[in-house]
Amino acid sequence: MRNFSDIKEIKKESITVEFFYEECRDRFKLSKLSPSPINPEKLIVDKDIHRPGLALAGYVDLFTYNRVQVFGNTEMKYLNQLPHEKRVETLTRFFSFNVPCVIITNDNSPQEELAYLAEKTSTPLFITPYPTTRFAYFITDFLDDQFAIQAAIHGSFIDVYGVGLLFAGKSGIGKSEIALDLVERGHRLVADDIVMVLKKGESVLMGAGTSLTKNFMEIRGLGIIDVRSIFGIRAIRYQKRVEVIVELEDWDKNKAYERTGLDSRNISLLGIDIEHVTLPIFPGKNITVIAEVIALNYLCKHYGYNAAMKFQQNLDAKIKSNIAQKKTNGLDRSIEYFEHDFE
């Protein structure tokens, strides 16, 4: 079994506010209020956001100024009820910290002092029509994705019946060929050769290709092919949840392979346990069909049916029945009477 614990984890240290705005402008209906271009040196270094109510009120000892600052109804109404001199003092103190950007929710109109000081300190000022709670959910999910742990894995990643199968194994064992066969059978390629795996939240792994290899595969003896051009749009998808790791290895007659499926094996990848299946390779073995069965069996277990456990229950019940009836022959037919259907 391959040890994925030695895979190098990658994590962004920061993203620019400019990148943040370009990615979120259409998604979250962000509009830029600052007339000046966004300072390229303005960085977001934290995945969390901050509501600066206490900071505006004067308590700045624990002010997490390096986060995206969100001004909701509470902050805006507080500023509106302040006299002009006090509002200037409050906002001057606020903008003395190097905040990455300020976002006003609920389409609240910014005070003149807020817009002026944001422009003076080169702090990008944005506005969105979304309510604060909903916008906070959207933006937190986006930032969590940007600062998530990720890793590059050598393998092929296929969506088989809606189940994400990540094929791993040594170079040249046939991962791409299996993936191509699955695509020809109607399944969808996510990534080949290099799979970027990202930890989403605390329990989900998402996989995608790289911008360079997206839609492309390398088949030894043939070369590079474009899956989308050959098989059409139905044959690809850009991202998928990683649900099963299928590890391919050469057949070893001295190794004991799983026979019943009762011992479900998981493997840790980026701190998340993923179902792991080891498939030995030898001539004549139809790995493509087995891969489809792996996906279907995963779906059965996901919806509450475990074939191995059901067989074990039937076996235990049969043993108890034979003991109770004092049977010794052990074997019997699945039906008691063969009707006249001999063809």
pLDDT in tens, the chain (343 residues): 566 667 888 899 999 999 999 999 999 999 999 888 999 999 999 999 999 999 999 899 999 999 999 999 999 999 999 999 999 999 999 999 999 999 999 999 999 999 999 999 999 999 999 999 999 999 999 999 999 999 999 999 999 999 999 999 888 888 999 999 999 999 999 999 999 999 988 889 999 999 888 899 988 888 899 999 999 999 999 999 999 999 998 887 777 777 677 777 888 899 889 999 988 888 778 889 999 999 999 999 889 888 888 888 887 887 787 777 766 555 666 776 667 665 5
Let me know whether 114 and 224 are in one domain. Answer: no
Assigned domain for 263 exists: yes
- What CATH number is associated with residue 212? 3.40.50.300
Active site residues: 154, 175, 193, 259
Q: Which of 113, 146, 179 is the last residue of a domain?
A: 146
Let me know whether 240 and 157 are in one domain. Answer: yes
- 102-104 vs 125-127, strand pairing mode: parallel
- Give the pair of three-digit tokens for residue 246: 């299928």
pTM to 2 decimal places: 0.79
Is residue 122 classed exposed, middle or buried when 0-12, 13-18 and 19+ CB atoms within 10 A define those classes?
Answer: middle
In which residue are the tokens 């999910």 written?
A: 141
Q: Which of 99, 121, 146 is the last residue of a domain?
A: 146
- What's the structural domain count of the chain? 2
- All residues at 6 or more sequence positions from 107 whose CB lies less than 8 Å from its CB, including other chains: 127, 128, 129
Domain that holds residue 249: 150-302
Let me know whether 288 and 238 are in one domain. Answer: yes
Percent helix, strand, coil in the chain, to 5, is 35, 25, 40
CB environment 281-301: b (16+ within 10 A), e (fewer): eeeeeebbeebbebbebbeeb
